[in-house]
Amino acid sequence: MQGRIVARDLLEKGNEVLLTDIYKENSRKNLKIFPRAAFRYLDVREFRRMIDLIRESGTDIVINCAESDWNLSVHRACLIAGVHVVDMDSDVATTEKQLALDGQFKKKGLTAITGCGSTPGINNLMLNHAAQFFDTLESVNAGFVWDSNMDIFVAPFSIPSIVWEFTHPATVIENGIVRFKKPLSETITVDLRVVGRQTGYLVEHAEVATFNHYFKNKGLKNIHFYAGFPKYSADVFEKLIYLGLAKSEKIAVDEGLKVSPLDLVTQVIKRIDYPENYFEKENLWVEIIGKKDGQPKKILMECIVPPLEGWEDAGCNIDTGFPASIIAQMIKDGRISERGSFSPEAGIVPEEDFFRELRLKGMTVYRGGIAINLLKNEITMPKRAKTERVETYI
């Protein structure tokens, strides 16, 4: 899904793109519409073949849209092949290993950025933006919440990733100590613009590692991440897990035939079409607590993702695909020139340009309720009435 979004955005901007996948089906539409697109079969489990194909392509940069299990392998392949690389997210352990490659990427004059999606991605850059308004940081809560105009289950961005988040211990940092908690064991009630009041579930997310990596020296001691799903969507995943249909291990179903329930469910669910007139909306949020001039301070950053005309079949997943495309283009055209291995909040992504690109895609970034990425020809947003105040609370 994200690969299709990234590829289409790059191709619409006139870039030449080589699409690679283990299935051609997901690329057929882009290949049909854009003559600048080409396709080659690739299984990223074949490490040496991946390196050879990257070199054969003559590309400057790889955008990795594979499941996060393979991010470290793709990073290493790009390091060997001598090209820049971005991906959308990894788990905490993998992210730390990717960041540890900083010296190797720097030595070869290459840029690698992990977590260039919605969250991680947009949320990381919103934190970096807000941090300038604090002398010290104490706590950061971050997450996403979304909803649709119909209480109907459709395929989200990644079935395996969501199942993993629902079942893997969640990494948190509390009072400066790394802890592991049962997923979904804690919730937060958020009342945010556009999506209203929803529940966020404590889950494993790479931001816990990268926020700590870049901001612990500013005093940051508490980090939690919450994934928010409307109940009708969360219920489906909980039932799949309960029924054993979310297991990745292959089971024997006939003599000589083994099937992974999760692989099968993923292939079936992603073929569910969006109902007519269906649309989604999402709110990416980061709550930052700290001090300025010795006084307590709190800022709520939000990015609102409404439906985008012409991209209806992608739903609110555009907020994951577009950032990867934007950041890759910034590396290619030189706006990102720092070399090494990073995540987005490292201070290497030009925020003003990035937020402007989001606005061109219909996404608005708010700091404390005020839009900060309106274009020059747009009217400045007035302060919201008291009835429109946004609060985040437990």
DSSP class of 117: B
DSSP class of 256: T
pLDDT of residue 196: 84
Beta bridge partners of 300: 287
With beta carbons less than 8 A apart as the criterion, state whether 206 and 72 touch: no
End-to-end alpha carbon distance in the chain: 33
pLDDT of residue 56: 96
- Residue ranges of the domains in the chain? 2-118+321-346, 126-314+363-393
Mean model confidence pLDDT for the chain: 90
pLDDT per residue as tens digits for the range 47-73: 999 999 999 999 999 999 998 889 999
pLDDT of residue 384: 37
Taking residues 194-219, what's their average pLDDT? 93
Determine how β-strand 222-228 pairs with β-strand 196-202: antiparallel
pLDDT per residue as tens digits for the range 326-379: 999 999 999 999 999 999 999 999 999 999 999 999 999 999 999 999 998 775
Cβ-count burial 232-251 (b if 16+ within 10 Å, e if not): ebbeebeebeeeeebbeeee
Of 257 and 287, the one with more pLDDT: 287
Q: Is the pLDDT at 84 greater than 90, yes or no?
A: yes
Q: Is the pLDDT at 394 greater than 70, yes or no?
A: no
The CATH class that applies to domain 126-314+363-393 reads alpha beta
Helix locations, 83-230, DSSP H: 92-99, 102-107, 122-131, 159-167, 207-215
Residue 184 contacts by C-beta under 8 Å, 6 or more apart in sequence?
166, 201, 202, 203
Matching CATH topology for 2-118+321-346 and 126-314+363-393? no
At residue 89, what is the residue type? D
Percent of the chain that is helix, strand, coil (3-state, to 5)? 40, 30, 35
Beta carbons within 10 angstroms of residue 230's beta carbon = 17
Tokens 């079949």 sit at which residue? 313
pLDDT of residue 391: 35
Beta carbons within 10 angstroms of residue 386's beta carbon = 6
Structure tokens at 320: 């994951």
Between CA 299 and CA 310 the distance in angstroms is 33
Taking residues 92-108, what's their average pLDDT? 97
pLDDT of residue 284: 97
Taking residues 109-123, what's their average pLDDT? 97
Least confident of 156-160, 162-166, 239-243, 313-317: 156-160
Structure tokens at 275: 């109902």
With beta carbons less than 8 A apart as the criterion, state whether 34 and 11 touch: yes
Taking residues 113-117, what's their average pLDDT? 97
Exposed, middle or buried, 253 (CB in 10 Å: 0-12/13-18/19+)? exposed
Backbone φ and ψ for 16, nearest 5 degrees, come out as -90, 130
Q: Which of 54, 64, 97, 3 is nearest to 341 (CA)?
A: 97
pTM (predicted TM-score):
0.89
With beta carbons less than 8 A apart as the criterion, state whether 86 and 64 touch: yes
Alpha-carbon 180 to chain mean position: 22
Taking residues 267-290, what's their average pLDDT? 88
Beta carbons within 10 angstroms of residue 198's beta carbon = 21
Q: Is the pLDDT at 380 greater than 50, yes or no?
A: no
Q: 3-class DSSP state for residue 347? A: coil
Helix 351-360, helix 122-131: angle, nearest 10: 130
pLDDT of residue 259: 87
Q: Which of 47, 19, 46, 54 is nearest to 33 (CA)?
A: 19
Q: Which CATH superfamily does the domain covering 2-118+321-346 fall into?
A: NAD(P)-binding Rossmann-like Domain (3.40.50.720)
Between CA 21 and CA 113 the distance in angstroms is 21
Q: Is the pLDDT at 32 greater than 60, yes or no?
A: yes
